[in-house]
């Protein structure tokens, strides 16, 4: 992280040197659970390790406040959205002004739209789609884990200098130390073959294909981590297929490691997925991976080397792939080892963290230059 060219004594200018001067303000509305919230916490943990002063402002959530506070990042809770948008806007901008950050990170587009211009760089996260692009128009820069989303932003008028593709931050060391989940606690026989998946519970996104595959397999159990609008409908779908006694809906799980280390195979059946963070998390935890050949996983997985790819929405091939991994004593160890290697080479914290730190420091240097 290089210092900006201005090193002299300039009245009112914060001189930015590695380890000093950089101040980050995290802002999000926030749901009780979600990948965005988990990424915000991981970045806060990374910056806390680097001794970067931070504040985090988000919709009222005692559990999230406790998590940020444990990192040494003072949490500021707000009732969002309140009855009047002008009150939200006033509270957000007055809080930012008091902290005087170098970079404001808007993790969700609804709060990004409320941030007024100031002596900082406004960095917005481009989420699962570009549907809410108008809410991000007050941002000066965007970051996203997806090249497809970055391209959509540039088609909409953002420049290549404004849009930054950054991998998802990987799980932290504390997360990786979690013990495997007890099968007994989830009423799963110790001799059963255990399949695990984690995704948002929405119909027609791939979970029904996985249920169809499980219906073709005898003695296999399925654990599903995640939540979403179609939780009840997917439970009914499991019942219709006669597999509900062998399926466990776990709800949202902040830490997936206990489940990834307990399972025989991690399966990611998403039909439309432009990033592969679920695959990367499984690699990090040492689970062999099968994924539908959608865009994100398809770019990551080398078939039969560090995972298996099956056609999208193909229950027959998915069931055969599951049987292959669990039936071949040499295949699963090979996929585990190659997956761990792929993670270490590209997605481990020592590879990803410098990309975030470099971007934030560059944006902060632009703030300093603008003050001049």
pLDDT at 82: 84
Structure tokens at 105: 């990170």
Asked whether residue 220 is assigned to any structural domain, the reply reads yes
Shared-domain flag, residues 106 and 191: no
pLDDT at 131: 59
Instruction: Give 12's pLDDT tier (boundaries 50, 70, 90).
Output: very low
Region 206-227 average pLDDT: 97
pLDDT at 370: 56
Shared-domain flag, residues 210 and 241: yes
Around Cβ 358, how many Cβ atoms within 10 Å? 14
Instruction: Give 204's pLDDT tier (boundaries 50, 70, 90).
Output: confident
| 1 vs 342 pLDDT, higher one | 342
Mean pLDDT of all residues belonging to the chain: 90
Structural domain total, the chain? 2
Task: Check pLDDT > 60 for residue 14.
Answer: no
Shared-domain flag, residues 145 and 272: no
Asked whether residue 15 is assigned to any structural domain, the reply reads no
Asked whether residue 6 is assigned to any structural domain, the reply reads no
Kind and range of the H or E element at 39?
A: helix 35-49
Kind and range of the H or E element at 248?
A: strand 247-251
Around Cβ 291, how many Cβ atoms within 10 Å? 30
Region 24-43 average pLDDT: 88
Shared-domain flag, residues 164 and 73: yes
Asked whether residue 311 is assigned to any structural domain, the reply reads yes
pLDDT at 352: 96
Instruction: Give 348's pLDDT tier (boundaries 50, 70, 90).
Output: very high
Task: Check pLDDT > 60 for residue 7.
Answer: no
Shared-domain flag, residues 30 and 127: yes
Region 54-61 average pLDDT: 94
Region 147-159 average pLDDT: 91
- For the whole model, what pTM was predicted? 0.88
Query: Any alpha helices (H) in 168-300, and if so which ranges?
Result: 173-176, 207-215, 231-240, 257-260, 277-285, 295-300
Shared-domain flag, residues 299 and 309: yes
CATH number at residue 93: 3.40.50.2000
Domain that holds residue 263: 173-347
Task: Check pLDDT > 50 for residue 125.
Answer: yes
Shared-domain flag, residues 314 and 332: yes
Asked whether residue 280 is assigned to any structural domain, the reply reads yes
**How far apart, in whole angstroms, are the C-alpha atoms of residue 104 and residue 112?**
9
Asked whether residue 8 is assigned to any structural domain, the reply reads no
Task: Check pLDDT > 70 for residue 36.
Answer: yes
């Amino acid at each position: 992280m290089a210092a900006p060219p201005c090193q002299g004594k300039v009245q009112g200018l914060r001189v930015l040197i590695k380890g000093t001067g950089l101040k980050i303000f995290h802002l999000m509305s926030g749901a009780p659970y979600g990948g965005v919230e988990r990424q915000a916490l991981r970045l806060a943990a990374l910056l806390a390790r680097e001794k970067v002063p931070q504040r985090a402002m988000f919709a009222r959530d005692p559990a999230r406040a406790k998590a940020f506070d444990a990192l040494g990042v003072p949490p500021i809770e707000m009732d969002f959205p309140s009855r009047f948008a002008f009150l939200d806007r006033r509270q957000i901008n007055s809080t930012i002004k008091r902290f005087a950050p170098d970079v404001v990170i808007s993790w969700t587009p609804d709060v990004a739209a409320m941030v007024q211009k100031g002596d900082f760089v406004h960095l917005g996260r481009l989420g699962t789609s570009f549907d809410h692009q108008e809410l991000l128009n007050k941002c000066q820069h965007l970051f996203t884990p997806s090249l497809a989303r970055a391209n959509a932003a540039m088609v909409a008028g953002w420049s290549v200098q404004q849009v930054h593709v950054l991998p998802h931050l990987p799980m932290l060391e504390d997360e990786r130390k979690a013990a495997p989940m007890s099968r007994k606690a989830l009423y799963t026989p110790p001799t059963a073959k255990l399949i695990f998946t984690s995704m948002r519970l929405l119909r027609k996104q791939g979970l029904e294909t996985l249920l169809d595959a499980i219906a073709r397999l005898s003695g296999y159990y399925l654990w599903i981590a995640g939540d979403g609008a179609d939780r009840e409908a997917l439970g009914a779908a499991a019942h219709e297929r006669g597999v509900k006694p062998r399926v466990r809906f776990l709800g949202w799980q902040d830490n997936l490691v206990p489940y990834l280390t307990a399972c025989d195979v991690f399966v990611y059946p998403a039909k439309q997925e432009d990033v592969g963070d679920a695959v990367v998390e499984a690699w990090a935890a040492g689970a062999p991976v099968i994924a539908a050949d959608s865009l994100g996983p398809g770019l990551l997985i080398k078939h039969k080397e560090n995972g298996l790819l099956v056609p999208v929405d193909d229950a027959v091939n998915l069931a055969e792939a599951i049987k292959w991994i669990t039936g071949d004593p040499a295949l699963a160890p090979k996929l585990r080892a190659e997956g761990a290697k792929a993670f270490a080479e590209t997605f481990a914290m020592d590879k990803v963290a410098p990309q975030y730190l470099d971007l934030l420091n560059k944006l902060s240097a632009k703030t300093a230059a603008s003050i001049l």
